[in-house]
Structure formats: structure tokens, C-alpha cells
Chain A
Amino acid sequence: DQQVKQNSPSLSVQEGRISILNCDYTNSMFDYFLWYKKYPAEGPTFLISISSIKDKNEDGRFTVFLNKSAKHLSLHIVPSQPGDSAVYFCAASAGSYQLTFGKGTKLSVIP
């Protein structure tokens, strides 16, 4: 039972364009959502988060949107840079803070 789903295993985007990574969840109890970036042979690095009381959070080039009715969140990266090439994990928690992760989307930003 996969409660957090990232249906696109990979995504390629031209440098300077927008990258949109999507995530769907099934557990309506999730109240906090996070995005992590992971380079090969490194641990996941926290990128941005959003509480369920908000529908948007922005941090520089990164914006996360939350649509609670659709149980969907997305990460927008504008403009995309080659250094953004990594695997992006969506994660969610419900109360007791046991993060549930999606399987990740590998983003490739092409120069």
C-alpha cells in the first residue's frame, strides 16, 4: 500500500525552463509535506516543506503547491539549473512524524 506516489520515475528539462515534479498521496491524515533532493552516494537533503494549512510555500527558485482536495502536491523549480539534476523525493507525515516517502523522481536538467 503506497501512500505517497511519485508516478514519474524520471523527468528531463532544458536549463532555464520550469521543472514540475508531482506527488500524490492517499492518506488524508497527512498534515505535513516535504521535498528532499538526493545526489548519488549522499543522504537526502531537505529542500522545502509545506503544512496542510497552506496551499503554497516559496523559497527562492523552489515553490511547493498543495491541493488537499486532490491529495496532490507539486514542486516547481524555476529556472532549472544543471545543478538541480538529482533524485527528488516527496515525503509526508501524520501527527507522530513518521515520514512516508515516495520512490523518487530523477530530474535531469540539460544544459
Chain B
Amino acid sequence: DSGVTQTPKHLITATGQRVTLRCSPRSGDLSVYWYQQSLDQGLQFLIQYYNGEERAKGNILERFSAQQFPDLHSELNLSPLELGDSALYFCASSRTADSGNTIYFGEGSWLTVV
């Protein structure tokens, strides 16, 4: 158990809909990351937050948005959904935002768009 909690674990929804994926980082971790893993793809970095502020942005689509709240949990919103959004979405956290820190991953949220 990494200490990073993600909900929901599985989600099936229709195209055009909106979903919110939730993440609680490890106790004491200030930085939260979102990654996407599609079939045959490695882990693609989407976005990073540190202590409530956006720190780095990767391959996140404009249809997606995220935020980190004062209690440090984070949410990733996807809307409107497309078939190609079906993937495993991972949240991860680390103590700080600096290089040299280990990032710990949650178990992921499986999103299926039909």
C-alpha cells in the first residue's frame, strides 16, 4: 500500500459525459501528479500540483482540468469525454516538488468510455 488513495477504481461512462477522478496523497506529501496510461503506451504525464498551485503541465488535453485543494487532495476532471479517453489514470504524490524525491503511485482509476 503506497498510501496514495484514488477513487473510483473503475468507471464506465458514455461519450460526452463528465467524470471526476479523486486522489488523496500520502500523509505529508505536498506534490500531486496525474498520469495517463493507455493501451500500448507508457505512462504519460498530465499535470503536477504542489501545495495547491499548478507546477508543471504535460500532455493534458484542454478538455481536462485538475486542481489541488487546501487539504492537498486533488481532482482530475474530464469533459466532454471521448472514446479515446478510455485509459488507466494514476495519481501519484511526493514530499516536495524537487528532483530526487521518490514519487509514489496510487492503484489507478480505470475509465472506460462507451
**Which residues of A line the B interface, CB within 8 A?**
31-32, 34, 36, 41-46, 49, 51, 89, 91, 93-104
Contact = CB atoms under 8 A, between A and B. Distances in A.
A43 B90 contact: yes
Interface residues of B, number: 30
Nearest to B58: A98
A46 B100 contact: no
Given A34-B103, A96-B56, A99-B103, 4 more contacts: A44-B90, A44-B105, A93-B99, A101-B35
A23 to B, nearest CB: 12
B99 A31 contact: yes
A99 to B, nearest CB: 6
A31 B98 CA distance: 11
A77 to B, nearest CB: 19
B41 A43 contact: no
Given A89-B42, A99-B33, A32 B105 contact: no
A43 B99 contact: no
A97 B42 contact: no
Interface string B44-88: 110010000001101000000000000000000000000000000
Contact of A46 (B40, B42, B103, B108): B103
Nearest to A36: B105
The 8 residue pairs across chains A and B that have the minimum distance between CB atoms = A43-B105, A103-B42, A101-B43, A97-B99, A43-B107, A101-B42, A98-B56, A44-B105
9 contacts: A41-B107, A43-B106, A44-B90, A45-B2, A46-B105, A95-B99, A96-B55, A97-B94, A103-B41
A55 to B, nearest CB: 16
A87 to B, nearest CB: 10
A106 to B, nearest CB: 12
